[in-house]
Amino acid sequence: MESVRKTVLSGIQPSGVLTLGNYLGALKQWAQMQDDYLSLYMVADLHSITVRQEPAVLRRRISETYALLLACGIDPDRSIVFVQSQVPEHTQLSWIMNCITYVGELNRMTQFKDKSAKHADNVNAGLFTYPVLMASDILLYQAHCVPVGADQKQHVELTRDVATRFNNAYGETFVVPEPYIPKFGARIMSLQEPEKKMSKSDPNPNAFLLLTDDADTVVRKLRRAVTDCEGVIAYDPENRPGVSNLLTIYSVCANMSMEDAQKHFDGLGYGALKQETADAVNAVLDPIREEYARLLTDKAYLSERMKDGAEKASAIARKTIRKVYRKVGLDCMR
Ligand code: TRP
């Protein structure tokens, strides 16, 4: 029943390319949550312009990222899948929440510190208030549950704080959300430096697997993956991060427990581990690559879906905006 289903919301920035880590660590969970929650998933394009973007590239990446979400099994008939900038309520709520959030709170955000160091020539106000926009994304839909990576947890905690502050000042308005950090098994590490998380911004392209890498590239990158010289296949992430990462990728893609995966490779060498991991990854990626390629040729379908998603999202968001305006003493007229 709709009324007892809780709401889940998450977002992803339109970088245009996603890694196997993004899929196994996030998108796969999003897809699995669709039946149990009222699910909203968005392309967070307003977040991405806190860093300077080339307009034509941004435009292309927004549709590519949207297509990738659908290709990963996020079903626009079961979820509301939308592009953030197409739902104007996000920026509307964001201003109001800016007036609730303290500068001191934003100063403590570690991502702001990291990003402003990285983009020292463009430390804009949007970069600073980015967590307020993210809080607004979540609060607009009264989301209970927000699946995020560990790097975004601090932003969800801030969301809880500002939602509670608003509720205390103006009366019950917002659901106070919980972060949902996917459990172990989903954390995929770099193939070249397995102590680090797999990241698409790694300067070495052999360190990551993209969802759009073709089958041969997957085989080649996994063959080059860093292991160790022990020659025994066993899960020990602390001391043997490379082999353990391959085992993790294998077990998740082959749908096998870690124990069974280790048994499976008992007595085999790293060559077999790499080849079978590549085969398991390719079995997962084949349908994604195929659907992605198909979607990119059907621009009309994509824009129809975007429009439909934006309308559905806006219908929910509008209710929150009306309520918030009324509580604050403003009149939203629509
Ligand atoms: N800030 C998130 C990231 O960079 C993306 C994001 C934007 C998001 N709005 C959100 C995630 C709301 C969860 C909920 O990864």
* 3-state secondary structure at position 14: coil
For residue 12, how far is its CA from the centre of ligand 1 (angstroms)?
6
Other C-beta atoms lying within 10 Å of the C-beta of residue 254? 18
- C-beta 143 within 6 A of ligand 1: no
pLDDT of 119 reads 87
Distance CA 300, CA 304 (A): 6
pLDDT of 15 reads 83
Asked if residue 334 has pLDDT above 80, the reply is: no
Which residue has its alpha carbon closest to ligand 1 atom 15?
12
pLDDT of 185 reads 45
Distance CA 125, CA 110 (A): 16
Structure-block tokens of residue 64: 């590519």
Which residue has its alpha carbon closest to ligand 1 atom 11?
11
pLDDT of 110 reads 93
Share of the chain above pLDDT 70, in %: 97
Cβ distance 241 to 189 under 8 Å? yes
Other C-beta atoms lying within 10 Å of the C-beta of residue 279? 16
Distance CA 102, CA 2 (A): 36
Burial of 291 (0-12, 13-18, 19+ CB in 10 A): middle
Catalytic (active-site) positions: 115, 197, 200
- Per-residue pLDDT of 146-205, as tens digits, reads 998 888 999 999 999 999 999 999 999 999 999 887 665 468 999 999 999 999 889 999
- C-beta 115 within 6 A of ligand 1: no
Percent helix, strand and coil across the chain, each to the nearest 5: 60, 10, 35
pLDDT of 183 reads 62
φ, ψ (nearest 5 deg) of residue 44: -85, 70
Cβ distance 145 to 7 under 8 Å? yes
Instruction: Give CA separation, 124 vs 54, 116, 119, 120, 135, in Å.
Output: 17, 9, 9, 10, 19
- C-beta 138 within 6 A of ligand 1: yes
Asked if residue 93 has pLDDT above 80, the reply is: yes
- Per-residue pLDDT of 229-277, as tens digits, reads 999 999 999 999 999 999 999 999 999 999 999 999 999 999 999 999 9
pLDDT of 39 reads 98
Structure-block tokens of residue 3: 């009324």
Please name the residues in contact with 186: beta carbons below 8 A apart, sequence gap of 6 or more. Answer: 24, 25, 26, 28, 29, 252
Q: What element of type H or E holds 147?
A: strand 145-147
Structure-block tokens of residue 34: 């669709």
Asked if residue 2 has pLDDT above 80, the reply is: no
- C-beta 132 within 6 A of ligand 1: no
pLDDT of 74 reads 98
DSSP 39: E
Q: Among residues 13, 81, 72, which one has the least CA distance to residue 212? A: 72
pLDDT of 186 reads 64
For residue 134, how far is its CA from the centre of ligand 1 (angstroms)?
6
Q: Give the DSSP per-residue string, 68-125.
A: HHHHTT--TTTEEEEEGGG-THHHHHHHHHHTTS-HHHHHT-HHHHHHHHHTGGG--H
Asked if residue 3 has pLDDT above 80, the reply is: no
Q: Give the DSSP per-residue string, 204-272.
A: SGGG--BTT--HHHHHHHHHT----SS------TTT-HHHHHHHHHHHHHTT--HHHHHHHTTT--HHH
Atom of ligand 1 nearest to the CA of 44: 7
Cβ distance 138 to 177 under 8 Å? yes
| Farthest-apart Cα atoms in the chain, separation | 71
Please name the residues in contact with 96: beta carbons below 8 A apart, sequence gap of 6 or more. Answer: 324, 328
Compute the average pLDDT of residues 19-43.
94
Burial of 16-42, coded b for 16+ CB within 10 Å and e otherwise, reads bbbbbbbbbbbbbbbbebbeebbbbbb
